[in-house]
Chain A
Amino acid sequence: MSEFFAMGGYAWYVWGSYGVTLALLAAEMLLLRRRSRRNETAS
Chain B
Amino acid sequence: MTSLSILKGRTWVWPDDVNTDIIIPFRFKARTNDPVEMAKYAMYGFDPEFYKKVKPGDLFVAGKNFGGGSSREQAPVAIKYSNVAAVVAESFARIFYRNCFAIGLPALEVPGISKQVKQFDEIEVNLQDWSVKTRDGRVHSALKVPEFLRGLMREGGLVEYYKDHHGFPWETLENKAITR
The judgment on whether A and B are partners is: no
A contact residues vs B (CB 8 Å cutoff)? none
